[in-house]
Structure 1
């Protein structure tokens, strides 16, 4: 079977997303190793985390503007080059200052590769296939998350930093060659500042009421699932080790990876809003159910090679986190395709940049609120708050959608 030009274009962009996500998960997995090796403590550890988010946030507007004004393909190639430099630097980090430089380069590279590759996928895909293409794109991101979580630590233990980051660099270079060789140059260039124009788009403003609140829900639940599974019963958790925590986290990525292409394809046919609303509501239900896992009768329910005996509580946690992946698979490709639809011809990279900026306040503030809730009322209230935020986001979006555009908008958007 011959490989068409479109397959090579999209394949190069999918590989780009895989490589960027694999790098992100690799450094996240090895962060404790860097902390111990470099002797970082207290505030410095916080800076290790914050510098990445700061670099990612700072890069959104200039990279989005440059992609729309000049060439998304060219800006993506620059971002891939920055990513290669970052991971080569990680292999040779010998000081806290060196780690911060590598982390800053990583953040800029992540924003550039994520924003521009997604914009190119949305730009190249026909309007009736955007959800399906974006779903496949996200499936590669989830696959990289699984590979990074499981493989990075094992490969580092066997071969060390040089081989691990050398492999990652090779993957990034192959992705760079693929983008340079196969991805077509942009057909549209947007003069002016598309961010300002799209920020006043009524449909985007309406959807922002969902996304801003939903960021709180996803951030709380994703961050606290591993905490809930790993911390001791005295702190309200299940008290299991890293292997079980990894298995629970992998369940969400697996179901998300499998379901996204199909959900994206259906959102092309049935409308974006339906899938966003169903995914958001389902996420809230599963989030609120999660703390009840601790009340399950604790007995051996299944023996899995490599994991050993699993209790009913662990099985329930794996199932529920898998369901969270299904719920988010309904929402995410439809959400991304919506922003691609709105930005098409007017600044698709800027549209995705606005999507990222809407998410940032909730993703930054939610962990602080979650820590306070856990300390004051108990860990289960973090999940209740996450579920409530998902319901509030879904209800607000549905109400505004019907009020402004009528009930038919639920199917037409």
Structure 2
């Protein structure tokens, strides 16, 4: 018992538990992807219904995030994490036994709520445990586990489905959830209550720097997801890629993001968050139009690796900078800060594919990517100018 209490006090223990929670969440998120054809045949579902099923996660994630963020700051992180685990387990069982598309949609909605709990209370707990100088590296580690879960989910789900039928992938994930649940119960504890959390939580949504970070996350997520509806069609038409090739190429982007995230966090701790963040946006702007230039799948993979790396540099520093903003505003309301990140990322994942598909239909894929490139460059440069103006004003005073 004494050893258990000692383990709870160690930041590394909390980091491992939360990283595993994020990994399992993303594993379940992507494990459904290879089972989509089964849903179409079993329930006679249309493409529209399947689209609704997939997007339900982002919708409930977006709605639940600010609510759970406020609850976490007011009543504690551990309780929200435990309830999130229970909801995720319920979602997985519902997936396994669903006999209609309506139940699948409910399961997907519950999954988004559970993810909101992990991504607000969990990341806020890391901020409670780590000092500012080490937050970037810690959050980069969590994002690596996120990428690993996303990357492994589809192939693992496909193999288990082929080996043991529809329910096996969800029983597999359920075992992981139970193990993670025991870890959350016995290895997590709430930090001392910060009386400034409520005031900081109210200020965080009006702070100019936080709003700037919101824009970075929104654009970064949009830039990644804009490729989802348009690039597979291009790869199939011009490079004769099949579904396996396309899956591997998109997996390269996720792998690159996960590999770069710890480095981006380390650099943000040492060079400054905004330097790394805006540099990432500029690299992302340059790399996006390059995805339609390669004449081979190998070169296309190299470009998509660059896209994933750029996204890692752009998005990873936003997390420690949000935590720094909370400290500047009074401290404590880290969950509210990560609610900002989650809301921006969800909106980006919703708006990116819509904008990508619409612009590609109107102007073609190359023009769609150049428009996104232009928006990224303008935002990055304008953010730098605003920062310089603020510094200049401070010097004059």
TM-score (normalizing by structure 2): 0.90
| Structure 2 counterpart of 1:239 | 240
5+ unaligned residues in a row in structure 1: which ranges? 297-312
| Structure 2 counterpart of 1:72 | 77
5+ unaligned residues in a row in structure 2: which ranges? 1-5
Root-mean-square deviation over aligned CA pairs: 2.3
- Once the two structures are TM-superposed, the CA of residue 42 in structure 1 deviates from its matched residue by 4.8
| Structure 1 counterpart of 2:141 | 136
After superposition, the Cα gap between the structure-2 partners of 1:358 and 1:195, relative to the gap in structure 1 and judged at 3 Å, is: farther
Query: Do 2:18 and 2:118's aligned partners in 1 also have CA atoms closer than 8 Å?
Result: no
Deviation digits for residues 170-227 of structure 1 (CA, Å, limit 9, x no counterpart): 1111111112211221323456475432112232133334344444323313554334
Helix, strand or coil at the partner of 2:165: helix
| Structure 2 counterpart of 1:199 | 205
Query: Do 2:32 and 2:154's aligned partners in 1 also have CA atoms closer than 8 Å?
Result: no
- Once the two structures are TM-superposed, the CA of residue 108 in structure 1 deviates from its matched residue by 0.9
Query: Do 1:221 and 1:386's aligned partners in 2 also have CA atoms closer than 8 Å?
Result: no
Query: Do 1:263 and 1:330's aligned partners in 2 also have CA atoms closer than 8 Å?
Result: yes
Number of positions where the alignment pairs a residue of Structure 1 with one of Structure 2:
384
After superposition, the Cα gap between the structure-2 partners of 1:180 and 1:407, relative to the gap in structure 1 and judged at 3 Å, is: farther
Query: Do 2:226 and 2:352's aligned partners in 1 also have CA atoms closer than 8 Å?
Result: yes
Moved more, 194-203 or 110-119: 194-203
Moved more, 93-102 or 193-202: 193-202
After superposition, the Cα gap between the structure-2 partners of 1:402 and 1:229, relative to the gap in structure 1 and judged at 3 Å, is: same
Residue 112 of structure 2 corresponds to residue 111 of structure 1: no
Looking at structure 1, the residues matched to 356 and 269 of structure 2 have their Cα atoms a distance apart, in angstroms, of 35
Deviation digits for residues 126-165 of structure 1 (CA, Å, limit 9, x no counterpart): 1110000001111111111121122211111111232211
- Once the two structures are TM-superposed, the CA of residue 361 in structure 1 deviates from its matched residue by 4.0
Deviation digits for residues 236-290 of structure 1 (CA, Å, limit 9, x no counterpart): xx33111111221121122222221122112111110111011111011110111
| Structure 2 counterpart of 1:349 | 335
Moved more, 52-61 or 33-42: 33-42
Query: Do 1:84 and 1:169's aligned partners in 2 also have CA atoms closer than 8 Å?
Result: yes
| Structure 2 counterpart of 1:163 | 168
Query: Do 1:67 and 1:116's aligned partners in 2 also have CA atoms closer than 8 Å?
Result: yes
| Structure 2 counterpart of 1:373 | 359
Helix, strand or coil at the partner of 2:69: helix
Looking at structure 2, the residues matched to 164 and 323 of structure 1 have their Cα atoms a distance apart, in angstroms, of 32
- The aligned runs of 1:145-294 (5 Å cut-off) are 145-189=150-194, 192=198, 195-230=201-236, 232-233=237-238, 238-293=239-294
| Structure 2 counterpart of 1:400 | 386
Residue 310 of structure 2 corresponds to residue 327 of structure 1: yes
